[in-house]
Structure 1
Amino acid sequence: MNGVRAARQTSYGRIALVLLLTVYSGYDAVVFATGMRSVAVGIASVAGAVLLLRRRFHWLLAPLFLTAATGLLGESFLLPLLCVALFDLAADRRAGTAVSCILASLGINAILTTPSSLEDASPYLASALFMMGCVLGGLWRGSRRRAVQLLADQVEHLKVEASLREEAARIRERARIAAEMHDVLAHRLSLIALHTGVLAARSDDLPDRVADRLRLLRTVSTEALTDLREVLYALHAPEPGTDQRRPAIGQVNDLVDEGRTAGQRIGLLVEGTPEMVPTTHRFAVYRVVQEALTNARKHADGATVTVRVDYRPPATSVEVANTGGQPAPGAIDSGYGLVGLRERLTALGGRLQVGPAGGGSWRLTAELPHPVDIAEDRSTA
């Protein structure tokens, strides 16, 4: 909208300028010209203004008409409108055509008037300098316009690229969530199939109806496990340049140990029991801690990091804070890890907050509300 508004303002300004110069040329002709020449200058001014303002005409028509009219009727009358045409030519990278129009106009007028002395030729020199100034102004205007357009195109390209990268980060995080849930569901379905198979093998001690239901349950669970593996098998395919390790349940301690082995000073405080929250929450906690430690290692090398995880109701909360530090040498940050992390937490109904905590420190906090049924089970336990 801003670009359209600016274009309209530019167009209105051009119309006002051309109309003003047309009135000036007509007034100049009335005052200084006589007879039919005054009428001819007035008609030529109006025709030149129409050609300058009507863009549907060929771009060369207005400059040729004004060049011929200026040369035949006099430099002083139609020179302002000719300068507008020269400015447009130079702005559109047609400086050679503009210079040719200058030479043609001066040449025609010089042939018709034939100045007898240097003093008589001075107006031609002044007109030539004025028109060359307009050409230089048009060149500057055109280059500036193209530079602004190039910058606008680059900004638009960067916006589209950033949007695509954010969407790719969200898609990768969704795929990772699906792969993690595939592992969990496959494990649970395998247990169901195993136990129902054991019970079905001892169906002699069970009523026929119960035995039939056990065999049906084992068949359905086995088929569901097969379907799940077929649908989500592609999610296990490794992607070049990515870490394909998926966290096991209760692996946050191992993640902190890895960071300490790499030289990070990490303090860990875990409150509550991880097994009392959904598996998706535990995976999310792992990803939050992993992303926070990675960012601290990249942007605050040597800083002290404090990790606090609370699994107690009503919500699983994670807080990772680090003191100030210097960026690690050669660290490359894609900037989209937090985008995927926020996508994961939002899908679970949680929220993520990241920002400075004062004194050069940085804090990342995440909160995942517990499902209602789990909260009720805990309250009754």
Structure 2
Amino acid sequence: MSSSSTDTAAVVAQRRRDSRQDQVTLLRGSAIIALGYGLGAALQSTYVYANLVPAWQYVPFAARMLANAVAVVVLIGVLAAVQAHRARRWWTKVLCVVGAAAAAGGARYVAQVVFGVYDEPTEATRDAEVLSGFLLGAVSAGIGMWALATRQKARVRTRAAARDAVHVELAVKALEQEEIRVRRAVAEGLHGTLQSKLVLVDARLAEVLDRADRLDAADAESLAWVRTELDEARDIDVRQMSRLLYPDRLELGLVPALRALLGRLPASIATRLTVSDAVRAVDDPTGSSLTISERLLAVRVVEEAVSNALKHGPASSIAVELDLVDGVLHVSVRNDGDLYVPASAGAPSGTARLETRLSLAGGRLSLTPGRERGAHLEAWLPLGAGLQ
């Protein structure tokens, strides 16, 4: 079966479910209200006749209630028969309500006569009972229609919100993919084209410096300085910028990328990476369930924590923990630098931007003081449907 046929069948099935739910809402709401009115009317009639009309020694409450029940059944039956829940125009809804109420009023009076509520009813009694039955049915069916309309509006709003949420999610995914593409392209450009050009410039400068005997000392010193700066820019600035844009080993998995990140820290800082079995399972290079965007975002969390540890306190150790619980990746980074005090330090701007980025992906971020020293940065990132 083609995808279009499957989609059409799903739409038809959904419409049928909606129609059944609409019918249940209308009939159930009308029946509950009508039974309540019927019970109240029967009790009121019994009390009035028994206490205010001395000539009436016996008032048939059961017969009255049974007649009202018949009216409710007829009301619901007519609403179901005419498919009142499918009515869309206001006048068709009014016709359905009026027709069902009229049938219920007539059936109620007939049932009263059959069940012996009245032995010889007068025309005034008949008219009063038929009218009261009609009003009972009209009010009940009207409330049922109102409940149906409320349900339909709520369903429309809910599905519109769901569609909007899907559109937003698709837009975010598209932006993530475009961001990754641009990052990769720029990183490759920095690492390849720009670095190659810098290498060529360095080679030409080397040739010039080989002929330094033809230059005066000041010019030779200036060229040597330029060469040194270009070499540092090539080895440090360009390479570091390339890694920031697209971390090393990201294609191999989250764990290899984090190991490469932590491996670039100074030897004076002790690092520890703890990865749960659940994370290793989804980050298996042979069939990773983590998307590139999810890996990149998790690496950004660790990068931000490491950057804060280096900038805001002389940390001597950084501990990173990865865990996966119910499809949510938990990233925890602790350092033992200066104690983070939110009241005076505030949230670093990079952390605030990262928190916004995580919120777009349905995650959240927490930056709190360490137990005794340093800071504790935690992130929770819901992963894709493949992990559910």
TM-score range (shorter-chain normalised) is 0.3 to 0.5
Q: With structure 2 as the length reference, what TM-score do the two structures score?
A: 0.37
Q: With structure 1 as the length reference, what TM-score do the two structures score?
A: 0.37
